[in-house]
């Protein structure tokens, strides 16, 4: 019996983080091992690993879609994978970790030290070999740090409009509460969105030496008008430039201490800054302006198509890379004051668990007792915009559940776009709906969510077959298999 410690983390720090922890817990127990899992969620670390836990552990499992600080695990055997792998087969992850984990080199001064960055490159290669996409993980790290600024900024702007009207930002309203709220939310919180995104993409790639050049590149992306697209490019350029300099710039020992805090940030900032000013800024700004203009001038037919695509993407892998691609696209457009895709994405993300919850309530003969119980939890997750609530159903019956939720989400996304619904914040589910001006065209937006939920439930009724005469336990699964 082995003692294992683990960390789980996902971009939003909500569902995948805790589902991965549960998967690892069950997997370890099924193999006869003891495990302690630290969850790095949206409210910070929970069940934190102590120094004694780490010292006693035989292996460390990192199941994360964002960057996790490994400095406290020097000398320990580490295995890195994704939250998805831990959710789908925790036992396989535990078994692979015990067989394949590699020791982390000791003796580095910390995450910012040169030797540690070289170790990080090796770890990144190992992670990619295990199926974790490096660039995707770096992008999701940036998104995870950016989200609180977008949420806070969007809600403050909505409250500003509620207190002072849609022209609250004008000079005539200076000094009012609405004007103050707008200043906090718009020129302050929202203005940090792109620099934070770029900075933490670079941080994920090159650790702390990449943070300053990434944020500087993000600021230049904002000032040149290249927005979130420019910020993403700046983050990757700054991160990989810093990493390359760290590996190839050899300095005397007397100057080695200056490398992570002075030389690397200075040279990388100079490089990415000049590129943003003279090469990248203007072309990307033109591309972003063209995209923004197209989205703002869409006729209903093109809005319908975009809504269908975004909706289907949100349901396809329920929090995976395709889902996050649609979500990141919509979130990034908030900085350009394009808010209809964000509304479509949230509606489409809510309907899979809501539709499954409704179907398990209305069509009991098509679900086992365990699934009907899970439907209650799925309802809570659905109203909270946690698409991952559909994962347990999809894992058991993917060829019926996934097409059903994709159709329902596509309908919800398309209707939201056609109705012209807008959303000023990137998360919150039904809990942001009562906030004044957070959602535009609220009545029809609710209609879009309800329609997607009903279509999902209807598709499940058509595609899933009754479990003849069996309602619970293992026999229910056998009955479903016989019906198939």
Among 5, 61, 63, 54, residue whose Cα is nearest residue 34: 5
Catalytic residue among 4, 5, 7, 10: 10
Residue pair 279/230 in contact by the 8 Å Cβ criterion: no
Is 10 catalytic? The answer is yes
Distance from C-alpha of 396 to C-alpha of 394, rounded to nearest angstrom: 5
Q: How many residues does the chain have?
A: 484
Distance from C-alpha of 198 to C-alpha of 219, rounded to nearest angstrom: 9
Among 192, 264, 275, residue whose Cα is nearest residue 230: 275
Q: What angle do CA 71, 75, 79 make, to 5 degrees?
A: 75
- Cα–Cα separations (whole angstroms), residue 78 to 29, 54, 90, 140: 19, 11, 16, 21
Residue pair 62/80 in contact by the 8 Å Cβ criterion: yes
Residue pair 80/21 in contact by the 8 Å Cβ criterion: no
User: Going edge to edge, which strands form the sheet with 3-9?
Assistant: 44-46, 34-41, 3-9, 59-64, 77-81, 102-103
Beta pairing partners, 439: 423
Residues catalogued as catalytic: 10
């Amino acid at each position: 019996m082995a003692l294992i410690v683990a960390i789980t983390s996902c971009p939003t720090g909500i569902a995948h983080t805790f589902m991965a922890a549960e998967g690892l817990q069950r997997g370890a127990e099924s193999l006869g091992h003891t495990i302690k899992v630290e969850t790095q969620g949206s409210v910070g670390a929970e069940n934190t690993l102590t120094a004694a836990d780490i010292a006693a552990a035989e292996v460390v499992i990192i199941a994360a879609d964002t960057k996790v600080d490994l400095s406290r695990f020097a000398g320990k055997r580490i295995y890195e994978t994704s939250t998805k792998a831990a959710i789908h087969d925790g036992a396989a992850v535990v078994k692979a970790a015990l067989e394949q984990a590699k020791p982390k080199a000791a003796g580095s001064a910390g995450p910012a030290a040169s030797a540690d960055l070289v170790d990080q490159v090796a770890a990144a290669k190992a992670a990619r070999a295990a199926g974790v996409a490096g660039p995707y993980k770096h992008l999701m790290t940036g998104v995870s740090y950016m989200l609180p600024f977008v949420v806070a900024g969007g809600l403050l702007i909505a409250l500003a409009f509620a207190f002072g009207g849609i022209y609250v930002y004008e000079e005539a309203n200076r000094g009012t509460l609405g004007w103050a709220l707008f200043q906090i939310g718009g020129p302050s919180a929202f203005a940090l969105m792109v620099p934070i995104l770029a900075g933490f993409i670079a941080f994920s790639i090159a650790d702390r030496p990449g943070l300053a050049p990434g944020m500087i590149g993000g600021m230049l992306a904002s000032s040149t008008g290249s927005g979130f697209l420019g910020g993403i490019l700046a983050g990757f350029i700054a991160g990989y430039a810093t990493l390359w300099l760290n590996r190839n710039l050899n300095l005397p020992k007397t100057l080695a201490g200056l490398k992570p805090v002075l030389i690397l940030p200075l040279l990388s900032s100079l490089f990415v800054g000049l590129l943003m000013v003279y090469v990248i800024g203007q072309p990307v700004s033109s591309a972003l302006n063209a995209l923004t203009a197209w989205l703002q001038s869409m006729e209903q037919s093109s809005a319908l198509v975009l809504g269908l695509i975004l909706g289907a993407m949100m349901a396809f892998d329920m929090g995976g890379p395709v889902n996050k691609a649609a979500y990141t696209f919509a979130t990034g457009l908030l900085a350009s004051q394009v808010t209809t895709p964000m509304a479509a994405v949230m509606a489409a993300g809510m309907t899979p668990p809501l539709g499954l919850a409704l179907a398990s309530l209305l069509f009991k003969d098509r679900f086992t007792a365990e699934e009907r119980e899970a439907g209650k939890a799925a309802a809570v997750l659905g109203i909270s915009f946690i698409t991952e609530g559909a994962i347990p159903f999809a894992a058991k019956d993917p060829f019926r559940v996934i097409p059903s939720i994709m159709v329902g989400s596509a309908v919800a996304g398309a209707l939201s776009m056609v109705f012209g619904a807008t959303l000023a914040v990137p998360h919150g589910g039904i809990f942001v709906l009562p906030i004044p001006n957070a959602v535009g065209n609220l009545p029809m937006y609710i209609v879009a969510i309800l329609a997607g939920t009903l279509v999902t439930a209807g598709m499940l009724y058509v595609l899933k077959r009754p479990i003849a005469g069996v309602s619970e336990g293992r026999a229910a699964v056998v009955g479903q298999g016989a019906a198939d």
